[in-house]
Copies of this chain bind each other. A is one copy, B any other.
Amino acid sequence: MRRVAISSWATSKFVKDSKLSLFELACEPCVEILKDGNVSRKDIDAVMFSSCTTEQYSSTIVSEMLGMRPKVSHRIDNLCNSGTNAVASAFSLIASGLCDSALVVGAEKTDSSGNKLLWDITRGSFMFPVHWAAIFAKAHMRKYGTTEEQMAMVSVKNHRNASKNPKALFDKPVSLKEVMDSKKIADPVKLLDCSAPCDGASAVLLVSEEKAKKLTDSPVWIKGIGQQTNSASFANATADLTTIESAKLAARDAFKMAQVMPSQVDVAELHDAFTILEILAYEDLGFAKKGEGGKFVGQKEIAINPRGGIIGCGHPVGTTGVAQVAEIASQLAGAAEKRQVKNCKTGLVHNLAAAGSSATVIIMGA
């Protein structure tokens, strides 16, 4: 298997109501990547577009708008897990030798159809994701004594991190009291335990080892990828409501491929569409022991969600996985400015879709 590096990345400012079309939005971070002058349009062998849009031929439209004529171009969609699927797919195009470079672009508008999964009738009238988040939260509280304050602290931390990230939707810290006092949406989940849909785009350029050495002195390597799809419906996603089984399996494979232990991870972007999910991720990834995720909130060993996570940055569905990978690449390259994590060498991205019915874990290293 050929080694694959990330040589460039860019993320647009996430906002609630951009004046740009989906395709204009998608072009923004790509144009930023092209601006640095090292990469020319002709160097791009593949354009993979990650989005939940209903528009047809969307990846090829983005390619044309960017003035590119890549070999490969197609859209990949898998709800919130789209962006990380696109990165994994780009990885395999290069690792196999079919391509030497692949530009992965995620873009989504606030009103994306990716925000609800209509097919899943097992949810009855509880269609909105907040309902399964409430079920997970209640189960973890009952079984392990996790508290609403611990969940609220995830929101406080991620909003604080986001306030140092100029691209984040939310730019102000929130207090524990503000989270606890925010409107209850589905008990015990409150408004500030939830992420918000928004407009945003992100892009990362994956390249072969040979190309990486030409483009940059400090490439960031993709060292391990694990993916697992358990179901599409909530009813069949997991047998134990205190564990995201797909994430555990994806993490096992990613750590094995990267030959890395959870304790070696310095920085991670975890899927925190709801605060309880970050707590479950601590346990599913092996950062905390089972049941101790609540107490793990606020630890200092691993920098978690330095960009602000999904709660702080907003959640443009098809973009999120790409933006997570862009953030970890930026941290490992020492280019994360005000939010730079010191001395980080190993990074991790954890992404989920639809009640954790599928998951991707990517391990990266400087």
- Please state if A78 and B69 are interface contacts (CB–CB under 8 Å): no
- Complex CA gap A75/B97 in Å reads 22
Instruction: Please indicate the chain B residues that have their CB under 8 angstroms from the CB of A70 in the complex.
Output: 229
Whether, in the assembled complex, A56 has its beta carbon less than 8 Å from a beta carbon of chain B, the answer is yes
- A53 CB to closest chain B CB, in angstroms? 9
Instruction: Please indicate the chain B residues that have their CB under 8 angstroms from the CB of A253 in the complex.
Output: 71
- Please state if B119 and A55 are interface contacts (CB–CB under 8 Å): yes
Whether, in the assembled complex, A352 has its beta carbon less than 8 Å from a beta carbon of chain B, the answer is no
- Please state if A230 and B96 are interface contacts (CB–CB under 8 Å): no
A57-65, A132-140, A274-282, A328-336 - the one binding chain B: A57-65
> Which residue of the partner chain, among B69, B97, B354, contacts A57 with CB atoms under 8 Å?
B354
Q: Mark A38-64, 1 if CB is under 8 A from B, else 0.
A: 000000000100001011111111011
- Please state if B92 and A54 are interface contacts (CB–CB under 8 Å): no
Chain A's interface size range is 35 or more
Instruction: Please indicate the chain B residues that have their CB under 8 angstroms from the CB of A58 in the complex.
Output: 77
- Please state if B57 and A117 are interface contacts (CB–CB under 8 Å): yes
Q: Please state the number of chain copies in the assembly.
A: 2
- Complex CA gap A8/B103 in Å reads 32
- A11 CB to closest chain B CB, in angstroms? 22
Instruction: Please indicate the chain B residues that have their CB under 8 angstroms from the CB of A211 in the complex.
Output: none
- Please state if A78 and B98 are interface contacts (CB–CB under 8 Å): no
Residues of A within 8 A of B (CB): 1-2, 23, 47, 52, 54-61, 63-64, 69-79, 81-82, 85, 88-89, 91-93, 95-98, 113-114, 116-119, 225-233, 236, 250, 253, 353-354, 357-358
Indicate the member of A2, A119, A250, A357 with the most B CB atoms within 10 Å.
Answer: A119
- Please state if B98 and A98 are interface contacts (CB–CB under 8 Å): no
Q: Looking across the interface, which residue of chain B has its beta carbon closest to that of A71?
A: B227
Q: Looking across the interface, which residue of chain B has its beta carbon closest to that of A257?
A: B98
- Please state if A358 and B56 are interface contacts (CB–CB under 8 Å): no
Instruction: Please indicate the chain B residues that have their CB under 8 angstroms from the CB of A79 in the complex.
Output: 56-57, 60
Instruction: Please indicate the chain B residues that have their CB under 8 angstroms from the CB of A69 in the complex.
Output: 228-231
- Please state if A92 and B98 are interface contacts (CB–CB under 8 Å): yes
Instruction: Please indicate the chain B residues that have their CB under 8 angstroms from the CB of A116 in the complex.
Output: 56
- Please state if B119 and A73 are interface contacts (CB–CB under 8 Å): no
- Please state if A75 and B72 are interface contacts (CB–CB under 8 Å): no
> Which residue of the partner chain, among B76, B95, B113, B227, contacts A76 with CB atoms under 8 Å?
B76
- Complex CA gap A176/B98 in Å reads 43
- Please state if A57 and B78 are interface contacts (CB–CB under 8 Å): yes
- Please state if B63 and A74 are interface contacts (CB–CB under 8 Å): no
- A153 CB to closest chain B CB, in angstroms? 31
Taking A56-B113, A60-B78, A92-B96 as given, write out 13 further A-B residue pairs in contact, using a Cβ cutoff of 8 Å, ordered by the A residue number: A1-B96, A54-B113, A55-B118, A57-B79, A60-B357, A69-B228, A69-B229, A72-B227, A74-B78, A74-B82, A75-B76, A89-B89, A92-B98
